């Protein structure tokens, strides 16, 4: 694990200095929906037809569900189980990445397919929507799904995220 963290840090420094972070495809886009296990946290999602799963070189467990120019970031946090706190932590991370403040409009706790979840609805300057959906993982930690959308594509982008969220389910874990 320590080697993976060191390797990720080296790759992060190298790719930041080069100006772009290369990605590798973990699941090719197909004409039909396909399952993808987030095995590290004990959940499975169904990737819609035409979408792929990609991973950048700087990440150990985070992936992107992607199609055309839309990236739904799937971010795994190993230590935190409180979905609302995860959202608040991600809010700070997103603000830092975007170099802007994010205003939280509301937080909605819910259950999706029996799994504790929460959605944080937020906006950033420039009429940009940032919604963060978090799920408690049965193994450890939490996983968050988020996309940054201009207001004019928010409804479409949110629809894609909602489709993905409805597909989240528990996987059986071998002991």
- Selection from 107, 171, 110, 104 nearest residue 137 by Cα: 171
Could you give the percent of the chain with pLDDT greater than 70?
A: 78
Q: Which H or E run includes 136?
A: strand 128-136
- Selection from 170, 172, 104 nearest residue 143 by Cα: 170
- How far is residue 29's CA from residue 46's CA, in Å, rounded to a whole number? 12
Q: Which residues contact 158 (CB under 8 A, 6 or more apart)?
A: 129, 131, 147, 149
Res 140 pLDDT > 60: yes
- How far is residue 17's CA from residue 169's CA, in Å, rounded to a whole number? 38
Q: What are 59-118's pLDDT values in tens digits?
A: 778 899 999 888 888 888 766 666 666 666 767 777 777 677 777 788 888 899 988 888
Which residues does residue 76 pair with via DSSP β-bridges, in sequence order? 143
The dihedrals phi and psi of 92, each to the nearest 5 degrees, come to -65, -40
Q: pTM for this one?
A: 0.76
pLDDT of residue 87: 63
Choose between 39 and 12: higher pLDDT: 39
Res 131 pLDDT > 90: no
Q: Which residues contact 141 (CB under 8 A, 6 or more apart)?
A: 41, 76, 77, 78, 79, 80, 81
């Amino acid at each position: 694990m320590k080697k993976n963290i060191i390797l990720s840090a080296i790759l992060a420094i190298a790719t930041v200095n080069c100006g772009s972070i290369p990605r590798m495809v973990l699941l090719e886009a197909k004409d039909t929906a396909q399952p993808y296990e987030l095995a590290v946290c004990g959940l499975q999602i169904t990737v819609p037809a035409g979408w792929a799963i990609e991973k950048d070189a700087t990440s150990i467990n985070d992936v992107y569900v992607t199609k055309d120019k839309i990236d739904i970031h799937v971010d795994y946090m190993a230590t935190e189980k409180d979905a609302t706190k995860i959202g608040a932590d991600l809010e700070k991370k997103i603000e830092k990445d975007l170099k802007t403040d994010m205003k939280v409009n509301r937080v909605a706790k819910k259950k999706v397919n029996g799994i504790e979840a929460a959605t944080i609805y937020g906006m950033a300057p420039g009429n940009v929507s940032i919604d963060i959906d978090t799920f408690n993982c049965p193994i450890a930690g939490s996983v968050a799904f988020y996309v940054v959308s201009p207001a004019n594509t928010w409804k479409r982008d949110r629809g894609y995220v909602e489709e993905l969220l409805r597909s989240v389910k528990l996987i059986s874990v071998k002991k």
